[in-house]
Structures are given as C-alpha cells and as structure tokens.
Amino acid sequence: MIDPLNAVAVRVLGSLMEKEVTTPDNYPLTLNALTGACNQTSNRDPVMSLDEVDVQRSLDGLAARGFARALHRSDSRVLRYRQTLSEALHLHAPEAAVMCVLMLRGPQTAGEIRTRTGRLFEFRDVPHVEVTLQSLASLSDPLVVQLPRQPGQKEQRYAHLLSGEPVFAEAGPTSHESPSSPARDRIAALEDAVAELRTELATVREELEAFKRQF
C-alpha cells in the first residue's frame, strides 16, 4: 500500500511525467522549470502557486521514497530532476498517461481522459481508456477508483489513489459544462505551447545565471 502523497507531491510528479513526454529536450527539469510547470494555468486543476522551496521540499520527500531523482545532465551545470514513479509502479505508457492527467487535472470521465492524454499517449478509442483504467483499478494496490455518480453528472468519473481515497463530493465538473469544442481544443494547444516556451525560457535563464556565477 502506497503511503498517501500530499497535493504538492502529486503536482510535482504529474508535472515531471508530463514534461518527460511533451518536452523531452528540456527533460529532466531544473528546479526553476519544474516550479513553472507546477504553476501552469493551463491543464491544471486546481491551479497552484508554489515557490521553489515548496517544490524542493517535495522533491526531497519523493526522492526518499524512490519516486524522483536528482541528476546532472552533460550539457547543463544546473541540477535537474526526473520522476521514477513510473518505474517504481511498473506503469506502461498508457497507464502512465492516464495517471498523469488524473494527477494534474483531478477526477475525469474516460472520454475526457482520452482527449487530454493526446500528447502523452494516443488511445484508439474510449474503450481503450476504460480497459487501462480497469487495469489500474484492479492492481493489488489499486491506483485508480471509479467515483460514485454525483447529481447532475451523466458519466462516471475516475480519480487516482496516490493521495488516498478521494472526496467524492469534489469529483470534478458537472454536466452543465458544454462538451469540448475544436476551438477550445485549439486554445488549449496554444496554452500548452506557451507553457512549454515558458518552461524552456526558465531553464535557459537558470543555466545562464549558473554560468555567470562562475566568473
């Protein structure tokens, strides 16, 4: 049984898992870049405002549990961080993608998960997502749970169990929200691109400062 992780640890791990796939050239991440990734306003629910002290403290705790690791990259003078949760829990690519979006965006339907994992793993269809969710839910130490249907919700939602049993009353948005539209998808893609550019810029700035400190 995994000891429950707090919200900051989940956000740190989810951000590392996301950037490992979406920005491989900048991964592992510097502390500054990771903090920026944790505080993104796109593809995050809830939006957080963490500082580097919060993130470093969480990284230290995750490293002690074997879920994260610090290292130096050959082309960088700055200490960088990578997630090892996927290895520790033996997650395959589709399972890691599902866990990542649940960690970053809270409880979701299988359809929402399929849409939001597009850049992490390409699921064939919603049943493919459901099979993956069932796999995660049927482990000896389950990583996912199906939430009871809440009033006003048309579809079942799923949540990760890394923080322990979820509070069902907070199980995501209700059905009064309109479905995803191509326009919103394009906006989300643009927000992703901006967030990635900010992460890359933060990394360059951090490495430049480290370089300047040598003289």
On the question of pLDDT at 175 being above 60, the answer is no
On the question of pLDDT at 172 being above 50, the answer is no
Distance CA 215, CA 213 (A): 5
Distance CA 130, CA 1 (A): 23
Q: Which helix (H) or strand (E) holds 68?
A: strand 68-72
pLDDT, one tens digit per residue, over 30-67 is 999 999 999 999 999 999 999 999 999 999 999 999 99
Contacts of 105 (CB under 8 A, 6+ apart): 43, 44, 45, 116
Two tokens, residue 2: 């995994």
User: Would you list the DSSP string of 122-174?
Assistant: --SSHHHHHHHHHHHHTSSS-SEEEPPPPTT-SS--EEE-TTSS--GGG-S--
pLDDT, one tens digit per residue, over 2-14 is 899 999 999 999 9
- Model's pTM, two decimal places? 0.80
Q: What pLDDT is recorded for position 154?
A: 85
Two tokens, residue 84: 């090892």
Q: What pLDDT is recorded for position 179?
A: 45
Q: What pLDDT is recorded for position 151?
A: 80
